[in-house]
């Protein structure tokens, strides 16, 4: 299942590589730039506010209805030492869910406000790639060089290298430079939702066990408990949605595609799954689960292949053009280095 729902959309991607094959057609076409209207701005900002609000509100209710209720430390001295009014068990549970809360929030803000890989104005790689592989974006105002794996986002009105999709949920594109943050937000948010369900369900069981009669349970139920039930349901819904998104991200990483490219049935040069993870998350595995900026092992000269082309090349053991650029003894190596993603 591809990411097409109320939060995710690839309809914002305008790929004009096919247009660049015929320069006469390019000159004759007048491309009207897409203007971001008030609905785009309002929806994106609203989802940002709602997401952060739900995270903060769930954090508050988990503390009040579970930790503070069942693991409260009555001794003032220990409260002062720990800085929170929880006993040893409550403090450990508090640290556990707060860790994933902060990781999810930091990853979300980094995915939402960092550069997804907007293309800078670079000299076209004349002499490194064949002329038919060099195209220029007809939708950007400055008509700059557009790598094969870059796609123009009509909402951001910029070309994004290895653009996966424009995500309304984070109000930003997902590209090479923020894909790690986007995936980490999904991972940490899912773990956080799982902890919410466990904590609040366990609290509900304890409330039931400590209520002498079943009908008294409903009479004594306040709005806090109704909200807790709502958060259990919302957390389960979010886990379902996040699993769909993570499944799509996994497929794209495994096949060296973006969501946009998968609809065009095109692939990047095949690598091992571990190497693919290094491209997205960085070369240091220690930082893969932490929202730090990775060192990219990628370049703007990456090519796209159709499935049949890849099958033929792999069967005949043909060399990929990218291998010549990375070979330090190659005459192309020094000229290629300025096209490395940084």
Task: Sketch the domain layout of the chain as residue ranges.
Answer: 8-339
Predicted local distance difference test score (pLDDT) of residue 212: 59
Angle at CA of residue 271, ends 153 and 127, nearest 5°: 65
Nearest to 146 by CA among 337, 17, 293, 261: 17
Predicted local distance difference test score (pLDDT) of residue 78: 73
**Coil vs helix vs strand at 302:** coil
Nearest to 52 by CA among 116, 97, 7, 101: 101
Q: Which residues of the chain have pLDDT under 70?
A: 1-38, 211-224
**Coil vs helix vs strand at 94:** helix
Is the pTM above the cut of 0.85?
yes
Q: What is the dihedral of CA 8, 10, 31, 111, to 10 degrees?
A: 60
Predicted local distance difference test score (pLDDT) of residue 1: 42
Residues present in the chain in total: 342
Q: How many percent of the chain have pLDDT more than 90?
A: 49
> What does the pLDDT look like over 33-59, one tens digit per residue?
555 556 777 888 898 999 999 999 999
> What does the pLDDT look like over 252-272, one tens digit per residue?
999 999 999 999 999 999 989
Predicted local distance difference test score (pLDDT) of residue 222: 63
Rounded Cα gap, residues 201 and 217, in angstroms: 15
Predicted local distance difference test score (pLDDT) of residue 84: 81
Predicted local distance difference test score (pLDDT) of residue 217: 54
Predicted local distance difference test score (pLDDT) of residue 317: 87
Nearest to 149 by CA among 252, 68, 55: 252
> What does the pLDDT look like over 156-206, one tens digit per residue?
889 999 999 999 999 999 999 999 999 999 999 999 999 999 999 988 888
| Residue among 167, 189, 193, 252 flagged as catalytic | 167
Q: Is 38 a catalytic residue?
A: no
């Amino acid at each position: 299942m591809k990411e097409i729902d109320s939060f995710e959309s690839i309809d914002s991607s305008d790929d004009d590589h096919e247009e660049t094959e015929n320069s006469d057609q390019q000159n004759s076409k007048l491309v009207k730039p897409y203007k971001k209207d008030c609905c785009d701005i309002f929806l994106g900002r609203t989802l940002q506010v709602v997401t952060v609000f739900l995270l903060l509100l769930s954090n508050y209710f988990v503390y009040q209805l579970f930790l503070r209720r069942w693991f409260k430390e009555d001794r003032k001295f220990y409260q002062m030492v720990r800085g929170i009014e929880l006993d040893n068990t409550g403090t450990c549970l508090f640290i556990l869910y707060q860790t994933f809360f902060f990781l999810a929030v930091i990853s979300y803000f980094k995915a939402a406000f960092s550069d997804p890989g907007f293309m800078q104005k670079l000299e076209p790689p004349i002499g490194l790639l064949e002329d038919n592989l060099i195209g220029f974006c007809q939708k950007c105002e400055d008509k700059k060089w557009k790598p094969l794996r870059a796609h123009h986002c009509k909402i951001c009105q910029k070309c994004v290298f290895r653009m996966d999709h424009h995500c309304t949920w984070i109000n930003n594109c997902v590209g090479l430079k923020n894909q790690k943050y986007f995936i980490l937000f999904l991972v940490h948010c899912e773990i956080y939702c799982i902890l919410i369900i466990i904590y609040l369900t366990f609290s509900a069981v304890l409330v039931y066990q400590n209520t002498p009669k079943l009908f008294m349970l409903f009479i004594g139920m306040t709005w806090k408990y109704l909200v807790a039930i709502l958060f259990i349901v919302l957390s389960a819904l979010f886990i379902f949605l996040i699993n769909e998104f993570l499944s799509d991200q996994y497929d794209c990483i495994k096949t060296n595609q973006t969501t946009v490219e998968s609809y065009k049935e095109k692939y990047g040069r095949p690598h091992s799954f571990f190497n693919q993870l290094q491209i997205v998350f960085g070369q240091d595995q220690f930082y893969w689960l932490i929202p730090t900026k990775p060192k990219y092992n990628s370049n703007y000269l990456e090519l796209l292949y159709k499935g049949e082309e890849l099958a033929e090349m792999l069967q005949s053991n043909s060399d990929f053009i990218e291998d010549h650029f990375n070979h330090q003894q190659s005459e192309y190596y020094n000229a290629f280095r300025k096209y490395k993603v940084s």
